[in-house]
Structure 1
Amino acid sequence: MTASFSPFAGSPFAGGRAPEALTPEDLSAGDLQLLQTARLSATLRHAYDHSPVQRAKMQAAGLSPDDFRAPEDLRRFPFTTKADMRGAYPFGLFAVPRAQILRLHASSGTTGKPTVVGYTAEDLEVWTAVMARAIRAAGGRPGDLAQNAFGYGLFTGGLGFHYGAERLGCTVVPVSGGMTERQVTLMHDFRPRLIFGTPSYMLSILDEFARRGLDPRGCGLEIGIFGGEPWTEALRAEIESGFGIAAQDNYGLSEIIGPGVAIEKAGDQGALTIWEDLFYPEIIDPDTGAPLPDGAAGELVLTTLANTAMPMIRYRTRDLTRLLPGKGSAMRRMEKVRGRSDDMIILRGVNVFPTQIESQLVGCAGLAPHFQIELSRPQRMDAMAILAEALPAHATPEARRQAGRDLAHRIKSTLGLTVEVRVGDPGSLPRSEGKARRVIDLRPKD
């Protein structure tokens, strides 16, 4: 069944056409539900037959794919979590032989091992098509010049936007992240209409324009599509004012497919249309797991409807939002993510957990195993400081400075984050009698 699995089988849209043709946005609510039911049924069967982890979870719940009849039945099936992915590292969640995987991506996890996702040829086709759809919905058009400032590599942002923009018919400038001086030079000389990247990195680009005495509003940009980290309406306003553009939010996560799960359509900021033909959304109470109705705030849960390599059943994203009615479409929208229900920090597009900081700190000579993470926004961009303390035998000013440099280097080398490290005297950090308060968030709220 692995080789013949098709998420389109049995649906009224079977026939091998591309996802854009399969599910036009004027699809009626009834036809959308027919499509979702067919694809959910096929996905559950594929996961049960070919993913030992997913089969074991269903069996433990006393369920099989035969228990699914309609989308509301999905809430009876067990969740998939980040812990399942860590436990199955690296390829244990795949539902096809490894030789059928054409690409691997990965994101960081709490144990230091990455969270691995795989893509078959069919998955890459779906991802490319839905990214093209998303970019167009945000205002992109064939023939646009698009500068891609997302990082390439194991992170899904760079290649996801790259191939989607090419599929749409854009001319892509694959600059990747960093090299801010070059970013500005190319923007000034090439005059792209579109740019993709993290919103915080756009502030660095804005500062480089100012440093060089160039007008960012005169570089030709009209639309920016941003993601990879939560960002506030205040930051959106600053980006839009600075560049004279529309700044659109994109939502995605590597565990589901990467960028492209939902997008702010042009003229509809503040709510992102979810491509419900490919990703089925639910909202649950983050504490109890109980389903919540549309309009209620809670944790977003997603089920993939077309993934062959790694079908994800009811994946707990830990992102807090609510579902809203569609606008000009049967597909629902999600409110801009307002936070997370776990302790993951997203800093300038990089996912980091306090346990990852701890694992680097305990390996540094001269530092006690006590620390706090301080998040701030001193100059519009989010910043992280690690508050540590010296061991008594290493409490001289020079020893503390050296320990701070060592820890900063380890974090930069392993996690890719530039952080400030402040090492205090022995006993200078507060001790907890219960759960340690690891994160102090000093960033202003909207």
Structure 2
Amino acid sequence: MQIVPICHWLYTRVPQSLLRRIEAANFIKTVRFVSEHSPFYKEAFRRRGIRAEKVRSPADLGDFYTTAEDIRTSPESFICRKPDTAFETTGTTSARPKRVYFSRSEIREAGWSGAVGLWGIGVRPEDRVASAFDYSFWVSGPVLAASCEALGAFHVEAGRLDPAEFYERLKDYRISVIVGDPSWIVRLAEIAKEKGPWPVKLLLGGGENLTEEARAFVEGVWKADFFLSYGQTEAFGAIGLESRAKEGYHLNEFHNFFEIINPDAGGWGELVYTTLNRRTMPLVRYRSGDLTRFLPPKGYPVRRIEKLKGRLDEWTPTAMGNIAPWMFEPFFKKVDGVDGDWQIVVAKRGTKDLIEFHVETANGHETLQSQVFEAFRREWPEAWRVVEMGVFLMSVCPHAKGSLKTGRKLRRIVDRRDFTQ
């Protein structure tokens, strides 16, 4: 008997009242568990006078939250049971990545959850799935492999190959489902448009946002649906997945308790979640840093969230990876032609991310672009390899010295992409 379709049937029909009771009970269990087993939460609760046995809901924790800096500073202090593996987050550009620990049983459970989501968008045991996720310390590939195992579907892991090589090597596999970073999938679609697509059932992207223009381009080339998932390593992969209607992410409320804090008049605020089924490194009220808002249930009893509006912190997800201002301060000091302020603008050129380096220079700019590009290649060779793949574009925009800062403070990274279009 196929268990996954039965689980999906239950997922689509569980009464909301029952789901809320399950969430509340598991929230209480998680808070009590970490208060007994996690050195971090033991000390944090002690300092704040929080008595775990009195906690019945997030409101009882007041303004207590777990932050990214907490994990980055001392990940081992969160561990409650002996871990079997670990993954890292923030991509390859971070000097201090966040490390999150898991057990093998938690990987299997995440696989079952992912399999239910894959079933919902149409993946079946007879499908052949190819993944191009980066396997280096990243959770997405292993969770997808576990999901395909639970589903009983064929799965091949290509890693983040150059899309041109992926196309040539995978075209004879009779692949029906392609999974990878959205920007990578856009580049693969460009190659398929030139050389000819093969028949696929659907494509699935995760790890960054995507404009609707880019989605339409990919779907037009492959003549198939392109779905998006949303997740974080801290949540062990997928937090939510689009349905076939592509109207927001349906949340995994069986494994996480979600809140949106500090909402504005339109309901937009920061997504916060508590893991409900993890015992190796559970997290209580973790601040995701992502801005979104709740949508009413539609098609499923679980809640939905909008596509992300942005981030509260300085990290900006791009096809290059996650970028932050501190990365570029020492970088530009190594470029001889840069003399003064700088600003990074993330835009779109067609369907691709365009990273614009706006820099002040006092000595002309005839060779400035080549200098910046060469310094970039030395500083971030992996990101440069992605440029060479054609996944994203870069340009250098010179400015007169003293001209970039027009107000009291220069915003170092400006994201001009519109993901609603």
TM-score normalised per structure 2: 0.87
1:27 maps to which of 14, 25, 50: 14
Listed one character per residue, the Cα deviations across residues 375-420 of structure 1 (whole Å, up to 9, x for unaligned) are 2212310121222345x6xx47677456424431244237666463
Change (3 A) 1:310 1:401: same
Secondary structure (helix, strand or coil) at the match of 1:329 reads coil
Amino acid in the other structure paired with 1:298: G
Residue matched to 2:280: 309
On the 8 A contact 1:137/1:263 being kept in 2, the answer is no
Secondary structure (helix, strand or coil) at the match of 1:327 reads coil
Q: 2 CA distance for matches of 1:333 and 1:420?
A: 35
Change (3 A) 1:28 1:442: closer
Q: Does 1:437 pair with 2:402? A: no
Residue matched to 2:43: 56
Bigger CA drift: 243-252 or 342-351? 342-351
Secondary structure (helix, strand or coil) at the match of 1:376 reads strand
Residue matched to 2:228: 249
Listed one character per residue, the Cα deviations across residues 130-172 of structure 1 (whole Å, up to 9, x for unaligned) are 1112211221111210111222121222222222122211101
On the 8 A contact 2:11/2:300 being kept in 1, the answer is no
On the 8 A contact 1:194/1:223 being kept in 2, the answer is yes
Change (3 A) 1:366 1:250: same
Residue matched to 1:87: 73
Residue 250 of structure 1 deviates from its aligned partner by 0.7
1:118 maps to which of 76, 89, 101: 101
Bigger CA drift: 361-370 or 269-278? 361-370
Listed one character per residue, the Cα deviations across residues 270-312 of structure 1 (whole Å, up to 9, x for unaligned) are 122111110111111168xxxx9xx822221111101222211
Q: 1 CA distance for matches of 2:27 and 2:120?
A: 25
Residue 175 of structure 1 deviates from its aligned partner by 1.3
Bigger CA drift: 347-356 or 219-228? 347-356
Secondary structure (helix, strand or coil) at the match of 1:229 reads coil
On the 8 A contact 1:285/1:298 being kept in 2, the answer is yes
Q: 2 CA distance for matches of 1:188 and 1:145?
A: 12
Q: Does 1:262 pair with 2:240? A: yes
Residue 365 of structure 1 deviates from its aligned partner by 5.5
On the 8 A contact 2:340/2:402 being kept in 1, the answer is no
Q: 1 CA distance for matches of 2:16 and 2:416?
A: 44
Residue 179 of structure 1 deviates from its aligned partner by 2.3
On the 8 A contact 2:404/2:410 being kept in 1, the answer is no
Residue 229 of structure 1 deviates from its aligned partner by 0.7
Residue matched to 2:3: none
Q: 2 CA distance for matches of 1:24 and 1:405?
A: 49
Listed one character per residue, the Cα deviations across residues 217-273 of structure 1 (whole Å, up to 9, x for unaligned) are xx1211111111111222222222221111111111011212x2211123x311221
Secondary structure (helix, strand or coil) at the match of 2:380 reads helix
Amino acid in the other structure paired with 2:42: R
Secondary structure (helix, strand or coil) at the match of 1:358 reads helix
Q: Does 1:41 pair with 2:28? A: yes
On the 8 A contact 2:8/2:116 being kept in 1, the answer is no
On the 8 A contact 1:283/1:301 being kept in 2, the answer is yes
Amino acid in the other structure paired with 2:314: D
Amino acid in the other structure paired with 1:95: C
Secondary structure (helix, strand or coil) at the match of 1:136 reads helix
1:345 maps to which of 305, 316, 320: 316
2:259 maps to which of 262, 282, 286: 282
On the 8 A contact 1:105/1:118 being kept in 2, the answer is yes
| Identity value in percent | 25
1:427 maps to which of 401, 409, 420: 401
Residue matched to 1:407: 375
Residue 211 of structure 1 deviates from its aligned partner by 3.2
Q: 1 CA distance for matches of 2:62 and 2:257?
A: 15
Bigger CA drift: 146-155 or 343-352? 343-352
Residue 82 of structure 1 deviates from its aligned partner by 1.4
Secondary structure (helix, strand or coil) at the match of 1:104 reads strand
Amino acid in the other structure paired with 1:232: T
Q: 2 CA distance for matches of 1:284 and 1:425?
A: 40
On the 8 A contact 1:371/1:429 being kept in 2, the answer is no
Amino acid in the other structure paired with 1:430: L
On the 8 A contact 1:400/1:423 being kept in 2, the answer is no
Change (3 A) 1:368 1:50: farther
Secondary structure (helix, strand or coil) at the match of 1:255 reads helix
On the 8 A contact 1:53/1:92 being kept in 2, the answer is yes
Residue matched to 2:88: 106
2:141 maps to which of 147, 155, 158: 158
Number of matched residues? 409
Secondary structure (helix, strand or coil) at the match of 1:158 reads helix
On the 8 A contact 2:100/2:233 being kept in 1, the answer is yes
On the 8 A contact 1:376/1:443 being kept in 2, the answer is yes
Listed one character per residue, the Cα deviations across residues 5-25 of structure 1 (whole Å, up to 9, x for unaligned) are xxxxxxxxxxxxxx9499744
Change (3 A) 1:383 1:442: same
Q: 2 CA distance for matches of 1:65 and 1:377?
A: 48
1:222 maps to which of 201, 213, 216: 201
TM-score normalised per structure 1: 0.82
Residue 432 of structure 1 deviates from its aligned partner by 6.0
